[in-house]
């Protein structure tokens, strides 16, 4: 176990305390989101997504890859448990850019952490908006993070994790995910993982997504053939990726994801 933790902390470049405190949780979340990317590349390569702990350690730590929520947050759940934190996996529906009348599938998992009687949300696997700090679950006011401000609001018996995003029309609150504090045991994660990775209508089957938080408050993302660097003030630089070779180079240089020359990702969102 100690060897697994040492390897994980080396992977995320974290050398802080390991006692189950808020400072430790904050340090781990910030380091994880900045180093282990969110990505769905194995889905596009036709490889199965395996959620047991040895598979997560092998892929995300030793092979220095990324993954989506069940992988990133599954690894975080394992690490926090090993450190003595009181944790629970909770289920959620991702609501990024989706109207409230639309009901997305419950295919997201994050980690609830209890610290000194207070509940916290830790989520290192919600794409380009993974929060870089844990959030209090029992507050509805604005909460600061190293990146975007966040809040948890309650409406009609549901909780909504929201981010304050700045754009040309000013700053607005946007839903990130919706949840009810229901736990997500392993069997539910397996079912949702199958839908996410294998169902023809899963957006992870139909587009390429990679994201990583930058230490300066910005975020790097790839959506299909567009690379974006969004600054904390909402301004953005965009670059059109021209071919598969350039995509592989960017994956290596920007996200630390290295694949053999000639690797091809296949989905509707890519023109090649």
Catalytic residue among 32, 69, 147, 220: 69
Contact 210, 84 (CB under 8 A): no
Q: Which residue has the tokens 């994980």?
A: 8
Respond yes or no: is residue 123 known to be catalytic.
yes
CB 186 within 8 A of CB 12: no
Catalytic hit among 32, 123, 161, 177 = 123
Check: CB of residue 113 under 8 Å from CB of residue 85. yes
- 116 catalytic? Reply is no
Query: Which one is catalytic: 32, 78, 108, 147?
Result: 108
Token pair in block for residue 77: 């759940």
Pairing of strands 236-240, 118-122: unpaired
Tokens encoding 246: 């350039």
Contact between 236 and 229 under an 8 Å Cβ cutoff? The reply is yes
* Helix H or strand E encompassing 246: helix 244-255
E strand or H helix that includes residue 31: helix 22-35
Token code pair at residue 42: 């194995």
SS (H, E, C) 138-163: CCCCCECCCCCCEEEEEECCEEEEEE
CA distance 21 to 66: 26
69 tagged catalytic: yes
Residues noted as catalytic:
69, 108, 123
């Amino acid at each position: 176990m100690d060897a697994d933790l040492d390897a994980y902390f080396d992977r995320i470049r974290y050398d802080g305390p390991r006692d189950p405190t808020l400072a430790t949780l904050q340090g781990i979340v910030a380091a994880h989101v900045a180093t282990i990317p969110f990505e769905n590349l194995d889905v596009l390569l036709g490889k199965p997504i395996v959620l047991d702990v040895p598979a997560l350690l092998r892929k995300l730590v030793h092979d220095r890859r990324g993954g989506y929520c069940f992988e990133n947050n599954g690894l975080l759940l394992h690490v926090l448990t090993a450190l003595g934190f009181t944790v629970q996996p909770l289920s959620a529906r991702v609501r990024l850019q989706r109207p409230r009348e639309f009901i997305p599938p419950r295919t997201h998992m994050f980690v609830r952490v209890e610290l000194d009687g207070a509940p916290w949300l830790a989520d290192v696997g919600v794409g380009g908006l993974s929060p870089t700090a844990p959030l209090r679950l029992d507050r509805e006011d604005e909460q600061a993070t190293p990146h975007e401000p966040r809040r948890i609001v309650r409406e009609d018996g549901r909780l909504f994790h929201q981010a304050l995003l700045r754009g040309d029309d000013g700053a607005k609150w946007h839903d990130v995910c919706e949840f009810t504090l229901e736990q997500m045991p392993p069997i539910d994660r397996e079912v949702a993982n199958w839908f996410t990775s294998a169902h023809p209508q899963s957006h992870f089957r139909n587009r390429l997504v990679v994201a990583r938080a930058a230490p300066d408050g910005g975020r790097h993302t790839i959506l299909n053939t567009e690379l974006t660097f969004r600054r904390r003030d909402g301004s953005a630089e965009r670059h059109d990726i021209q071919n598969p070779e350039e995509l592989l180079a960017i994956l290596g240089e920007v996200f630390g994801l290295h694949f053999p020359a000639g690797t091809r990702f296949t989905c509707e969102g890519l023109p090649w």
